[in-house]
Amino acid sequence: MHIRSNAHFIAGGPLSRWVGVAVCALIVVLAFTGTNLSASAATPPSLGTTSGYAILAGTTVTNTDSPTVVDGDLGLSTGSAVTGFPPGTLTGTYHIDDTAAVKAKADLDTVFAATDAQACDSTLSGDLGSRTLLPGVYCYTSDAILYAKTMQALDYKPPMIIADDSGYSDPSFIKSAGKISQGAFNRSSWSVGAPGSPTFLINEMYKKKSGGDDLDDTSARQMQGFLVLCDAIDRAGSTDPAKIQAALKATDLKPDQLIMGYKGVKFDDKGQNILASGLVIQLQDGEHYVPVWPKDKAVTAPALPYKGW
């Protein structure tokens, strides 16, 4: 059984306990109890080398509960920080950024791709804790969509809605609930920009690859991070990790060198961008977010009160 959404769930597979991934969570659910929910048979993706892992993560693994017994291997790539073991107990082997962990992470990407390519047999929403999910492909409706549709059903329009990224930035939210959520504010560091601007042209290229979806705050930040890394490698003139790290520490990019609405990119001694900044965007037409604050970044003025539908 597979569930597709921002967070991906797989149940009925051979993974021992749970798998956590820093960028996109894959949670292996062994069992739900309560109401049965059926779906037609799906094609189970091959788990490859991930099948022996109880924990497979990207940057860190932290255990805060004791005593915790994890039955299987623990893999981490490309990070190296594992805390809480002990007092937690692992019955398998630690693979900390080694060849096995790198291969397992690659196999996990394949699992995601194979799962995402399958058509949904059923769409779910709300709390899954009271349901038993049988083998099949399930799509999970964003809570933001559920909120919007419930508000419309109750004819409830608050004076203002302020979201914080998450489901309100998911392209599926605009497709499914944009027209009934007109006026919702959201937090972002990305804006498509005016026609002909660099960000507009980059977004057009992205849409050709994404099937028509715009870049959003999450995907644009990922692209910006990749571009910052490319800049560092170019300045390092080498693929030597130490030289790339030194180049990253010396990064000092200006706003006109970025696709994000930051004041620049410059890292402190903890690796945080001290010039990061955000925008307040608003879904004014039900189809596109536009920046409304700060004033020097705004495309238009905020529209109040919340229109909804």
Q: Do residue 233 and residue 281 come from a single domain? A: yes
Q: What is the mean pLDDT of residues 259-265?
A: 92
Q: Do residue 132 and residue 149 come from a single domain? A: no
Which of 85, 116, 140 lies at the terminal end of a domain, its last residue?
140
pLDDT over 90 at 1, yes or no? no
**C-alpha dihedral, 178 to 180 to 184 to 188, nearest 10°:** -10
Q: Which of 121-130, 190-199, 294-303 has the highest mean pLDDT?
A: 294-303
| Inside any domain, residue 167 | yes
Question: For residues 18 and 74, what is the distance between their CA atoms, to the nearest angstrom?
Answer: 10
Q: Do residue 162 and residue 257 come from a single domain? A: yes
Helix and strand tally (H, E) in the chain? 6, 17
**Which residues span the domain enclosing 10?**
2-140
Task: Find all residues with CB under 8 Å of 250, minimum gap 6, and list them.
Answer: 235
Q: What is the mean pLDDT of residues 188-206?
A: 89
pLDDT over 50 at 33, yes or no? no
Pick from 27, 6, 20, 7: nearest CA to 216: 6
| Inside any domain, residue 303 | no
pLDDT at residue 303, as a whole number:
95
* Structure confidence by residue, pLDDT tens digits, 201-234: 999 999 998 888 888 888 898 899 999 999 999 9
Question: For residues 303 and 290, what is the distance between their CA atoms, to the nearest angstrom?
Answer: 11
pLDDT at residue 159, as a whole number:
94
Q: What is the mean pLDDT of residues 2-23?
A: 33
**Residue 181 · residue 17 · CB < 8 Å:** no
Residue type, 15: L
Q: How far apart are the first and last CA of the chain?
A: 36
Q: How many domains does the chain have?
A: 2
Q: What is the mean pLDDT of residues 171-176?
A: 84
The burial of 125, by beta-carbon neighbours within 10 Å (0-12 exposed, 13-18 middle, 19 or more buried), is given as: middle
pTM score > 0.95 for this model?
no
pLDDT over 90 at 16, yes or no? no
Q: Do residue 282 and residue 156 come from a single domain? A: yes
Query: Which has more pLDDT, 290 or 125?
Result: 290
Provide the mean pLDDT of the chain: 81
Q: Is 50 left (phi over 0), alpha (psi -120 to 50) or beta?
A: alpha
pLDDT at residue 21, as a whole number:
28
* Structure confidence by residue, pLDDT tens digits, 72-106: 999 998 888 899 888 889 999 999 999 999 999 99
Q: Do residue 134 and residue 164 come from a single domain? A: no
**Residue 77 · residue 49 · CB < 8 Å:** no
Q: Do residue 94 and residue 218 come from a single domain? A: no
Q: Do residue 150 and residue 281 come from a single domain? A: yes
- 3-state SS track over 211-224: CCCCCCHHHHHHHH
Q: Do residue 127 and residue 217 come from a single domain? A: no
pLDDT at residue 140, as a whole number:
67
